[in-house]
Amino acid sequence: MSACILGCPGPRLTREERGVLAEAQPWGFILFARNCQSPGQVRRLTGDLRDAVGREAPVLIDQEGGRVQRLGPPHWRQWLAPLDQMSVAGAGHARAMYLRSRIIADELGALGINVNCAPMADIADAGTHGFLRNRCYGSDVATVTEAARAVTDGLMDGGVLPVVKHMPGHGRAFVDSHLHLPRVDDPAERLRARDFAPFRALAGLPMAMTAHIVYSAFDAGAPATCSPAMIRLIRDEIGFAGLLMTDDISMQALAGDLRTRCRASRDAGCDLVLHCNGDLDEMRVAAEAAGELAGAGLRRADAALMARTAPLPIDIAGAQAELGALLQGKVNG
């Protein structure tokens, strides 16, 4: 089994794509809007992905709500941006985030998707780049931690594994890491006290995603994803013992060709390489360069999957009504 998570090009698998996936044997898959047309189609796709590798591989998605939700109308609910929902909900924000995430988990489970790349534990700053800012839950440690726990609980109660991101903290990135490499030059103690703090509080979660950011106080030469020093900080200081995956390895924040990026992240200590764009040639390279998932990484992967439990019973209509009341009617059902 390759230490990677792969996307796929479209809404259904071709014979060639099945062959690539069967050979690559990724640990899991990730879906995007390009893969999602209707409930029946997505259910067939998740089944076909698993059939291609011959096992119940995890299927991931980014269903944060707001700008970053791969499932939307007319078949699935549209959500407020997380920061907007936090503001609208006021004192009820934690309950609102729980309900939102529990409903999202119900939608995902019906499609065969069992991992969601949420919660966001990044703290919004005045200069946080627009690609990230309204995806955050707040601008202080306590608020972000409380909301992230609520999101986690909602997902887990719905039988969906959470992936906390972007470890150890993306809020001070003032450029878009999809296009450029952010550099954070704040002092170490300031980062420890603020940006890293929610991740310490959430260190017991089963899965996390790294940040493509240089933290010069700790390693001035490499982004966290490819920095042994930063991965040691995540493991030893923040205390995260779960399954650690990269953010999308094809983002332009990272230097070098795809093979170099994959190997650098794995050498740094990431357990899994995430490759998202669905390019078949790149997928072959990523699967080979990521290497085998074995040893401690495999044990962490198995433990993460064991953390997922059957969904708890829920009255979705009642949850939707309660959420709508908390948001004063500003959510679509």
Please give the positions annotated as active site.
178, 247
Quote the distance between the C-alpha of residue 203 and its chain's center. Answer: 15
Instruction: Name residue 28's beta-bridge partners.
Output: 5
Is beta strand 214-215 parallel, antiparallel or unpaired with respect to 161-162?
Answer: unpaired
Quote the distance between the C-alpha of residue 255 and its chain's center. Answer: 22
Helix/strand/coil for 252: coil
Is beta strand 68-69 parallel, antiparallel or unpaired with respect to 63-65?
Answer: antiparallel
Q: How far is CA 27 from each of CA 31, 60, 90, 135, 150, rounded to the nearest angstrom?
A: 14, 11, 40, 27, 27
Query: With helix as H, strand as E and coil as C, how does 258-320 read?
Result: HHHHHHHHHHHCCCEEEECCCCHHHHHHHHHHHCECCHHHHHHHHHHHHCCCCCCCCCHHHHH
- Angle ∠(147,107,70) on CA atoms, nearest 5: 80
Q: How far is CA 108 from each of CA 48, 98, 203, 266, rounded to the nearest angstrom?
A: 16, 15, 24, 29
